[in-house]
């Protein structure tokens, strides 16, 4: 099986676990003020790791950390949108990216169980939603744009999100927090949103969606307009057309 086939199988099987346990009884833990985890996050991660380990690559899972393999690394977010899952809000996903030894993102998959939507991208080969090529929107005006945002788990990330909200909310069609970073990337990649703003993005939240967005023709930088990498603390992912104006306002 190819790496892409394994990544697709892993997110779909994890998605099945999420769907089967939605609105059921499960344990919930609060890891930090803005960070929750359920037993289902852990079950889904276990399933994904069992599948991805067949590739021989290392795995970094949000819930279980590093599992040693060869020099390539799978980055795994088994349940992106845990708070939505707990709220009985179906906007959640499973997301995976494969990185080479230089942290270049080689491929990624995102699966949304409730809409049965599967995104995938391989570097240099375009972005796809359920097998169809997708592209970012061509909207050029911020005031006609629909923006989405989320924030990392540190208190300063939430404070920055409040500033972003007051800076942008009234100057665009709308600015919404969807609650699953991978779904928000997917919205920009398929052109239903113009930009996704994310202070405090960790690698497992950013890597899968980031490749899909770039392969759909989008642009990703820090709030300062600098090239984004896995160590960056802020991120703007857009259709490229409204990027500069957002960076000017946030930088
Ligand atoms: C979270 C979601 C949310 C974002 C948080 C993430 P999790 O992921 O993507 O939208 O605001 O920063 O941590 O914890 O549900 O995997
Ligand atoms: Ca996440
Ligand atoms: Ca997660």
CATH number, domain with residue 203 = 3.40.190.80
4-43 pLDDT tens trace: 999 999 999 999 999 999 999 999 999 888 789 999 999 9
> Rounded to the nearest whole angstrom, what is the distance from the C-alpha of residue 1 to the centroid of ligand 1?
30
Q: Which residue has the higher pLDDT, 231 or 212?
A: 212
Q: Among 199, 205, 207, name the best residue to mutate to test ligand 1's pocket (greatest count of ligand atoms within 8 A of Cβ).
A: 205
Where b means 16+ CB within 10 Å and e means fewer, 161-174 reads beebeeebeeebee
> What average pLDDT does the structure give for the chain?
96
Do 237 and 173 lie in a common domain?
yes
**Whether the CB of 84 sits within 6 Å of ligand 1:** no
Do 170 and 70 lie in a common domain?
no
Local structure of 182: helix, strand or coil: helix
Average pLDDT of the residues in 91-107: 97
Domain endpoint, select from 133, 150, 171: 133
> Rounded to the nearest whole angstrom, what is the distance from the C-alpha of residue 180 to the centroid of ligand 2?
6
Strand partners, 176: 148
Count of the separate structural domains present in the chain: 2
Local structure of 40: helix, strand or coil: helix
pLDDT band of residue 75 (cuts 50, 70, 90) is: very high
Q: Residue 110: which domain range?
A: 3-133
- Ligand 1 atom closest to residue 85's alpha carbon, by position in its atom list: 15
The token pair that represents 60 in the structure block: 């970094």
Domain endpoint, select from 133, 154, 171: 133
What distance lies between CA 242 and its chain's CA centroid?
20
């Amino acid at each position: 099986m190819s790496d892409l086939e394994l990544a697709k199988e892993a997110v779909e099987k994890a998605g099945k676990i999420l769907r089967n346990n939605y609105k059921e009884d499960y344990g919930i833990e609060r890891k930090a003020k803005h960070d929750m985890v359920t037993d289902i996050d852990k079950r889904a991660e276990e399933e994904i790791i069992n599948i991805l380990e067949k590739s021989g690559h290392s795995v970094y899972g949000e819930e279980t950390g590093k599992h040693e393999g060869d020099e390539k690394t799978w980055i795994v977010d088994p349940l992106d949108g845990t708070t939505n899952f707990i709220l009985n809000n179906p906007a959640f996903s499973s997301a995976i990216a494969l990185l080479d030894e230089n942290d270049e993102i080689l491929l990624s998959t995102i699966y949304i169980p409730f809409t049965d939507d599967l995104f995938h991208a391989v570097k240099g080969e375009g972005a796809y939603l359920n097998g169809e090529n997708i592209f970012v929107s061509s909207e050029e005006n911020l005031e006609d744009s629909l923006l989405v945002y989320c924030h990392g788990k540190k208190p300063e990330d939430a404070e920055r999100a409040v500033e972003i909200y007051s800076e942008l909310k009234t100057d665009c069609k709308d600015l919404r927090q969807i609650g699953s970073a991978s779904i928000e990337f997917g919205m920009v990649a398929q052109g239903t949103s113009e930009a996704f703003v994310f202070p405090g993005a960790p690698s497992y939240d950013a890597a899968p969606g980031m490749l899909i967005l770039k392969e759909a023709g989008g642009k990703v930088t820090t709030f300062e307009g600098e090239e984004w990498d896995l160590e960056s603390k802020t991120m703007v992912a857009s259709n490229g057309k409204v990027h500069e104006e957002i960076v000017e306002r946030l930088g």
